[in-house]
Homo-oligomer: A and B are copies of this chain.
Amino acid sequence: MANLNTDLLTPSVAIDCVVFGFHENELKVLLLKLKNIDLWALPGGFVHKHVDIETEAHNALELRTGLDNIFLKQFHTFGSIERNDTDHNKMLVDKKVIPEEWFPWFNQRFISIGFYALVEYSQVKEPIPGPISEACEWCSVNDLPPLMLDHEHILTVAHETLKKELNNQPIGLNLLPKRFTIPELQSLYETILGKKLDRRNFRRKVMSFGILVCTNERRTGVAHKAPLLYEFDEASYIKANEAGLSSGW
């Protein structure tokens, strides 16, 4: 986007991606730091006229993470008129975050389609900043820098959605390395939910989903008793994802 060929883009429509990762028992989000100013933004972008919005979201994330097989899900579309803030856009020009020529495009009324993504933290070697940013970093959800416009709100809604999804779907395949221990999986759940769970009940419940395969190998080198390593059985995992976990009516 060193150049902005607005003829190729769908007017009024933007996408924003909330990319979740998990590292050192913290839920992280991938954020871009804008140039010349202490303000951060969600990765995202505009929608080319001939490209599906889902594809465009994938492309945006591939540019930032280098990964091309990211779990992505649309969760909400943000269409308040207050998202459009001329003063904010003028400021972006003043601070040379965006060139002046881009002002008219940026100053449109935008509707933004929110996606959330789940990625394995360690697979993102070096997050890549975009044309209007000077850094791309993982930030802890509990300790966010100042975010532009309504991006903090978008992030919150994504997090809420993720919490709810835990009741309907298994989670972990996209956030954990191939092999992991049950306590690590539990820590992921606890981190997303923001509360402690009972060890024994957690184990029983996730085992009952029938999506975990024990590899009879153990994580070595750590203190205390070496925990068993598990993998997801991908076929069952996908099936559980489609069918859903909860009972209901």
Which residues of chain A have a CB within 8 Å of any CB of chain B? 10-13, 47, 49-54, 74, 76-77, 79-81, 109, 111, 113, 164, 166-168, 189, 193, 197, 246, 248-249
Q: At the interface, is chain A mostly helix, strand, loop or mixed?
A: mixed
Total copies of this chain within the assembly? 2
Minimum CB–CB distance from A90 to chain B (whole Å) comes to 19
Given contacts A111-B113, A246-B248, contact A54 B74 (CB under 8 A): no
Give the residues in chain B near A76, CB-CB below 8 Å. 74
| B166 contacts A249, C-beta separation under 8 Å | yes
Q: Which residue of B lies closest to A55 (CB)?
A: B81
Q: A52-B80, A74-B76, A76-B74 are known contacts. Are A167 and B249 too (CB-CB below 8 A)?
A: yes
Complex: how many Å from CA A36 to CA B73?
39
A-B CB contact pairs (8 Å), 14 listed: A10-B12, A10-B111, A11-B12, A13-B13, A13-B79, A13-B111, A52-B80, A52-B81, A53-B77, A53-B111, A77-B77, A79-B113, A164-B248, A167-B246
Query: CA separation between A80 and B109, bound complex, in Å?
Result: 21
> Distance (Å) between the CB of A86 and the closest chain B CB?
13
